[in-house]
Structures are given as C-alpha cells and as structure tokens.
Amino acid sequence: MHVKDAGNTEVPVDSPYPPGLHPDEYNLTWSSGRRLQEYQLIYITRGRGVFETAETGMIRVKAGQVILLFPRVWHRYRPLKKTGWDESWIGFGGDVADRIMGSFFSADKAVVSIGYDQELKNLILSVAELTRETPPGFQQLMAARTIEALAIVRSLSMSYHSADLEADRKIQQVRYHLLQYSQQDIKMEDLAKDLGLSYSRFRALFKSHTGVSPQQYLISIRINKASELLRHTDLSIAEISERTGFASSYYFSRLFKQKTGYSPSAYKASEG
C-alpha cells in the first residue's frame, strides 16, 4: 500500500470546480472527465453534487457518501453550484490496495453511503498532515491509516445498509396497516410510537420512501376505495363516506373533488 496524496477542500456555493490548478494527471474537467492510475477515496461531508462513470451512469451525490475511484476507469464529478460541497480524499495504490478494493468494493458501486463520521474525516486529515510534515516512517503511517479508513468505510456502509433495510421493513409494515385498517380512526402518532420512532422521524422516513406524508397516503387509499364503491355499488354518498373512514360526507365530498376533479355524485354518473 502506498499513498500518493491526501487533502481536504471546501467548495463554497457558486464556486468553480475544481478550484485552483492541478498537475496534468489530476486535472478534471466536466466536459472530458479523466482517468487516474490510482485509487481514490473521496468523502463528501457537506453539500451535494453528481458523479458519473460508464459503469454507474449519472448518480446524485450528497453529504455522508464516499466516492471510490478505480484506476483507469473514466469518471467525472462536481458539486452543485447552489450547494457547493466539502470533500476529503486519499489517493493510494499498490498490491494491498488491489486486494482490499477487489474484495470489498467495486467500480459499479462507486458511491457508498455511510452517514457522517468524524473519525473518518479526522483520519483522512491526519494522512494529509503526514504528506506535508513527512516525519520518520510517515509512508508506513499513511498506509496504515488508509487501510483503517477503508475498513471504516466498509463497516459503516454495512451498518448503513442494514439500517436502510430495517427502515424499508418498517415502512412496508405501516403501508400494510394503513391499507388493512383504512376505514378506522388511525392516529399516526400511535403508529410512530409502535415503531419506536418520534412522529417527526416517522413522517420524514415515510415520505422519503413513498413521496407523500402518512396522512396523505391514507387519504389516497380511502379515495381509491370510495371510487370503487361509487363505480360498483348503489350505496349513498353518506354510506360510502362512513365505510371508507371519512369523518363526514361533507369532508369526503370536498376531498374527493380535490383529488379527482369530480364530486362523488358526478363521478358516479360519469362511470355509470
């Protein structure tokens, strides 16, 4: 394992990227991209951006993710102008690097989610400091710390993935519950409590998985069921309102028109 370079760059909003001048082998332009002869670990700790290779296609990148560059793989990346970003990186190579990267990472999954970890950032900064100060044995120290940084990324990515799977499981559980008991009075705060989550965390998690809030998801289920009853039964508007869990026929009629563009009676007539 040998370390070629390491550092940290803060890219403010509306700033050119990459900032400053770089040696030819590291020069990166968005129009042409580049290929390196080394691996790089790039940790994004603030902001957002985009990353692209032939293997990955275009990927949105955000704080809490690591970009892994592989030798001779064409790539390009940059922060969004409206956010900028902070990046910390290590460039490295060698037989040990080949074995680690080949065993635990791959070029087609070059963006890894790990969340924010101060220990990893400090480790990368310590490697950058060693490149400047070059104390006795600094090459061995840099190599050891780079291996440790890769181990942290591997460990955190596995934990992050497990947490994401657990979140998926919880949201699927809630969606099934809402579908099965949509006609009942459902309190979202109680569902959040049953999952061991605060309501704000539950709501944010649900919206990130479905695109809508839990309450709006429930309303959509009720509107869909009401539409079926309007099409296939002779139940009155009041009866359908009660069967689908709406507090009143007035509230049901108002929401139904808001969601479908028709009043319940007009919808029934059009389907008839």
Q: Residue 69 sits in a domain of what CATH number?
A: 2.60.120.280
Q: 248-263: per-residue pLDDT in tens?
A: 999 999 999 999 999 9
| Residue where the block lists tokens 């002779």 | 234
Tell me: do 30 and 151 sit in the same domain: yes
Q: Which domain holds residue 98?
A: 2-161
Point out the domain boundary residue: 100, 129, 161.
161
Give the gyration radius of the chain's Cα atoms: 26
Confirm whether 247 is domain-assigned.
yes
Confirm whether 170 is domain-assigned.
no
Confirm whether 132 is domain-assigned.
yes
d(Cα 92, Cα 101) in Å, to the nearest integer?
11
Specify whether the CB–CB gap between 127 and 145 falls below 8 A: yes
Nearest to 229 by CA among 179, 172, 173, 268: 268
Query: pTM score, two decimals?
Result: 0.64
Flag whether pLDDT at 220 surpasses 90. yes
| Phi–psi pair at 233, nearest 5 degrees | -135, 170
What is the per-residue pLDDT for 26?
79
Tell me how many domains the chain contains. Answer: 2
| Residue where the block lists tokens 């940790």 | 43
Tell me: do 194 and 131 sit in the same domain: no
Confirm whether 175 is domain-assigned.
no
Q: 65-113: per-residue pLDDT in tens?
A: 999 999 999 999 999 999 999 999 999 999 999 999 999 999 999 999 9
Tell me: do 48 and 114 sit in the same domain: yes
Tell me: do 149 and 189 sit in the same domain: no
- β pairing state of 39-53 and 57-62: antiparallel
Confirm whether 223 is domain-assigned.
yes
Nearest to 68 by CA among 118, 94, 124, 107: 107
Confirm whether 148 is domain-assigned.
yes
**Preceding peptide of 23 cis, ω within 30°:** no
Q: Which of 46-60, 107-121, 151-165, 183-197 has the lowest mean pLDDT?
A: 151-165
Percent of the chain with pLDDT over 70: 97
Tell me: do 87 and 134 sit in the same domain: yes
Average pLDDT over residues 158-165: 75
Tell me: do 143 and 31 sit in the same domain: yes
Tell me: do 79 and 111 sit in the same domain: yes
Segment holding 164, helix H or strand E = helix 138-180
Flag whether pLDDT at 166 surpasses 90. no
Q: What is the dihedral of CA 56, 62, 65, 71, to 10 degrees?
A: 40
Confirm whether 167 is domain-assigned.
no
Tell me: do 53 and 81 sit in the same domain: yes
| Phi–psi pair at 102, nearest 5 degrees | -70, -25
Tell me: do 12 and 72 sit in the same domain: yes
Residue 115 gets the label, from left (phi > 0), alpha (psi -120 to 50) or beta, of left
What is the per-residue pLDDT for 133?
86
Tell me: do 104 and 7 sit in the same domain: yes
